[in-house]
Amino acid sequence: MCIFMNTLKYLQTHEYLLDVDLWRLFANLEELSQTSFGFVNSLLRIFKDYVDICETSPSLDFISVLTKYFRGSLCQSHQTYCLNYSAAVFYLESLKQRHDFGIYLKWCEQNDQCRRLHLPELLVAPLHRLTRYPLLLKNIWKRSTDSTEKIMIYSIKEKVEKSIRDLEGKVKWLDNFQKFRHLQEIVVWPPLWDRDKRFFIPECLKHIFKEHMAENILSPTNRHLLYEGKLTLAESTRFLDVYLFLFDDFLLVTKTKRNKKKLGGSDPGLMCPSLTPELQTVIKEGGSCTVIDQPIPLDRLVVRGLEPLHVSVFGLRNAFLIQHENRYRQCIAAFLLQAQTENIKRTWIAQITAAISCFTKSQETKKMSSFTLPAESSEI
């Protein structure tokens, strides 16, 4: 992989591919390579010393090397690289569409040191190496004969495994955070007077409502996105392309709007790799997802599968109904939705039903905990 990185550095010193961000593509690869190389060299030096003086030193002293690297910079360097990996792969895909970047990739791939591997295959190599370190430590632990040494090696192995688990959590958190940040940019919340023409608000009073707009409702610290996808909404005179977001506490129905002139579209390289292809297309075209109605809380949501006989007369297939009920169980909104296939319809119904069930159980648990009396004081 250093062939690709060093070649790109050379090209940029000669004013080629200057707009390619080296860090976004390779992150701290240079630091990681130096640290990994130092670790391997230290291990080989121990083997060499053992061979040279095996008669006087019957055991191998791994502890100093393992402690130095695994409690030092080795795992930290891998974590920095791995946290950037998914964004790097997505950035690479956007760059591969360029002719000049394609020439650069082909030239590097012809190098014998690359062994006919492509850059995506090389970018993932440090991730695989990190997951193999616990196996290496386990093998060293098995072959160690000193009890004190075995305890220390096992302790280091446990720390490395914990580091990998922590990294998985950080990657998921970062991915979720970036996705919600992009959702905040793409989801548009129309004001009350635009959403429903029945409500008249004088211009002099609109500032009151603007202070309480709902952009911050899409926050990764408050909720989790469980499921999402594109469906068709049946209205009285037309069919509307909609995009649904199922969170762990409410359902959001939006209509997708595309800007064919691509004005204000986001840079593809800046998009979150976890966004679905449909949302990526919307962003590329400078579009948005406009909220059709208020969020539907899961404890106020009813989903019903419809028989084909009931809706086929209207030209609908794979249809299901979503109802929004108020606290008095009155229906205040209804959405007749159509999926592309019967399987997609069933999946949506199953996902919504499961989300409602989980939300209901969590609310019941909170109520039970709030009604639980504290332990009686001994002073009473």
| pLDDT tens-digit map of 27-66 | 999 999 999 999 989 888 887 777 776 555 555 677 888 8
Give the model's pLDDT for residue 266.
46
What phi and psi, each to the nearest 5 degrees, are found at residue 240?
-120, 130
pLDDT at 145: 82
Domains of the chain (ranges plus CATH)? 1-185 (1.20.900.10), 223-261+274-366 (2.30.29.30)
CA distance 292 to 95: 35
Question: H-helix or E-strand containing 296?
Answer: strand 296-297
Q: What percent of the chain has pLDDT over 90?
A: 44
Model pLDDT, residue 56: 54
Q: How far apart are CA 246 and CA 337, in angstroms?
A: 14
Strand 225-234 relative to strand 239-247: parallel, antiparallel, unpaired? antiparallel
Cβ–Cβ < 8 Å for 120, 109: no
**Closest by alpha carbon to 42, among 57, 71, 63?**
63
**What are the tokens at 326?**
């108020």
Work out the widest C-alpha separation in the chain, in whole angstroms.
95
- The Cα–Cα gap between 224 and 247 comes to 6
**Sequence letter at residue 24:** R
Instruction: Decide if 291 contacts 312 (C-beta within 8 A).
Output: no
Positions in the chain whose pLDDT score sits under 50: 262-266, 268-270, 376-380
What does the alpha-carbon distance between residue 196 and residue 333 come to, in Å, rounded to a whole number?
12
How far is residue 257's CA from residue 241's CA, in Å, rounded to a whole number?
9
Q: Which residues of 210-223 are buried (b: 16+ CB within 10 A; e: fewer)?
A: eeeeeeebbebeee
Tokens at 263, concatenated? 């004005």
Please enumerate in sequence order all residues whose Cβ is within 8 A of that of 28, keeping only pairs 6 or more positions apart, or say none.
77, 80, 81, 84
Whole-structure pTM value = 0.74
Query: What's the DSSP call for residue 375?
Result: P
pLDDT at 263: 43
Exposure string (b/e) for 259-274, b if CB count within 10 Å is 16 or more?
eeeeeebbeebebbbb
User: What are the tokens at 270?
Assistant: 């800046």
| Radius of gyration (C-alpha) of the chain in whole angstroms | 29
- What tens digit of pLDDT does each residue of 92-150 get? 988 988 999 999 999 999 998 888 889 988 998 898 888 899 999 999 899 888 888 89
132: exposed, middle or buried (Cβ count in 10 Å: 0-12, 13-18, 19+): exposed
* Dihedral sign (CA 254, 256, 257, 261): positive
Q: What is the pLDDT of residue 26?
A: 94
Q: What's the pLDDT score for residue 171?
A: 86
CA atoms within 13 A on the CB side of 50: 11
